[in-house]
Copies of this chain bind each other. A is one copy, B any other.
Amino acid sequence: MSRLDSFIRRLEAQRACLNRAAELIEGLDGVVLELGLGNGRTYDHLRELFPDRDIYVCERQVAAHPDCIPPPDRLLLGDMFETLPAAQSRLGGEVALAHFDAGTGDAAANRKLAAGLRPLILPLLCPGGILATQQAMNGPDLIAMPLPQGVAEGRYHLYQRT
């Protein structure tokens, strides 16, 4: 499997999991939280999936396509280890879907980042809220959900907040 194959597989898994997440939160009130804007492709997909929900986006420094930049009042600008705790008062228990994809090729660094972010994301999720993440975030208060067809175990992760 080439890096091109593996990249396509990861993007397909991401899309399938976000589409599934949209079904899972259909009856649930709450906002969407994208942890990392990057080039804005995934944010654009979330906008399509959730035209009626507020989508908040964490980003250290915006470098996305001009069409994919969130409105300033939905942008949590800065280091997530600072912006997520600061967002507790506004977004605590209000997030119906959070999405995280570290998106770097450094698996060890990605795992460490995911472990560090987990306790910051958890209190933002409403009961029944979904966390879609490329990096595993197993542990208390999150139930692993079945993955969409075609997504191999471990390639992406869907959790539901108890």
User: Residues of A with Cβ closer than 8 Å to B?
Assistant: 2-5, 7-8, 11-12, 14-15, 40-42, 44-45, 47-48, 65, 68, 105
Contacts and interface: CB of A to CB of B under 8 A. Distances in A.
A14 to B, nearest CB: 8
Contacts of A7: 11, 41
A2 B47 contact: yes
A20 to B, nearest CB: 14
Of all A-B residue pairs in the complex, the 9 with the closest CB atoms, nearest first, are A4-B45, A2-B45, A3-B44, A3-B41, A4-B41, A2-B48, A2-B44, A8-B11, A7-B41
A90 to B, nearest CB: 27
Nearest to A8: B11
B8 A15 contact: yes
Contacts of A45: 2-5
A2 B41 contact: yes
A53 to B, nearest CB: 15
A67 to B, nearest CB: 8
Contact of A11 (B4, B40, B47): B4
Contacts of A14: 4
